[in-house]
Structure 1
Amino acid sequence: MTQAFVAVLMGSDSDLPTMQGTLDILEKFNIKFEAKVTSAHRTPAATHSYVADAESRGCKVFICAAGLAAHLAGAVAGITTRPVIGVPIDCGPLHGQDALLSTVMMPGGVPVATVAIGKAGAKNAGYLAAQMLAVADDELAKAIFEERADSALAVGEKDRALQAALKG
């Protein structure tokens, strides 16, 4: 029996500082993952081979990060029917705007769930993958719910402290 996991693919090793947020979220929820550098443009055959192999070993979600032309998520979505989450990396002269458009503008029938540019998007990719897996995992769903509830409480506490300071 294969164990479900998330594949986190990066177009370049320079994407790792941004994508650390994804890995941290997956670790927080004890989600098994593999992280790999592979390029849609420089190593297309290796990318295709990895995706096919990962599927056969139980990969349930692919998270793909790339900057500039950002074709990695689209290339992966073209060869799998598993969910693909694209993370546009904030780099280059357009500061990730080109990566965002390349990631989000997929043809009908080949979807890529696209998150925000950069570190916030990387964190959200981890959360989105966790939520996708939680559809079939009640324990994971409960952990995500509890984490979100704790976050809401923290916001409320910060607001009360701010209000007290303003009255002070």
Structure 2
Amino acid sequence: MVDIAVIMGSESDRAIANRVTGVLDESKYAYDIQVISAHRNPDTLDEYIAGSNAKVFIAIAGLSAALPGVIASKTKKPVIGVPVSAKMMGLDALLSIAQMPPGVPVASVGIDNGANAAHLAIRILDLF
């Protein structure tokens, strides 16, 4: 059983994912980590989300940062977006994650702040 699903859009996001897992390794919660692009692997992403028993998703994405929003459009579970400073100091990714349409909420942490995403996921799970 997985409590938290950590998905990064590409292998280049691994350093940020390591910040997430560094915090999660100190917690009581189980996690799974995947590299699945919303653009290059949409079918794989759909299958993963549908088959996941995770209670919270953490999505790490830069550039267009579509991954958190795509995940949020396919689940009612909480999604935490981590914008990556790939271009424009990460402001493009931050705005993409923060400006979701009504009915498709995504929580956002600071640029490259994978540790805070993990802490937020833990706080959400500690409520239950």
Report the TM-score, using the length of structure 2 for normalisation.
0.97
Residue in 2 that maps onto 1:49: 47
- 1:81 is matched with which residue? 76
Greater share of helix residues, 1 or 2? 1
The aligned counterpart of 1:37 is 35
Find 1:25's aligned residue among 23, 26, 34: 23
Distance 2:15 2:103 in 1: 32
Aligned residue among 79, 95, 103 for 2:97 = 103
User: Higher RCO, 1 or 2 (CA under 8 Å, sep at least 6)?
Assistant: 2
Tell me the number of residue pairs that the alignment of Structure 1 and Structure 2 aligns. Answer: 128
AA partner of residue 132 (structure 1): I
Identity %: 42
Cα offset for 1:21? 1.0
| SS of residue in 2 equivalent to 1:34 | strand
For 1:76 and 1:18, how far apart are their aligned partners in 2? Answer: 18
| Shift, 1:30, TM fit | 2.5
Report what 2:127 is aligned to: 135
Deviation above 6 Å: which 4+ runs of structure 1? none
CA RMSD of aligned residues (A): 0.8
Choose from 22, 46, 69 the match for 2:64: 69
**Equivalent position SS for 2:64:** coil
Max radius of gyration: which structure?
1
Shift of 1:4: 4.4
- After TM superposition, the score normalised by the length of structure 1 is 0.74
Q: Which runs of 5+ in 2 are unaligned?
A: none
What's the counterpart of residue 146 of structure 1?
none
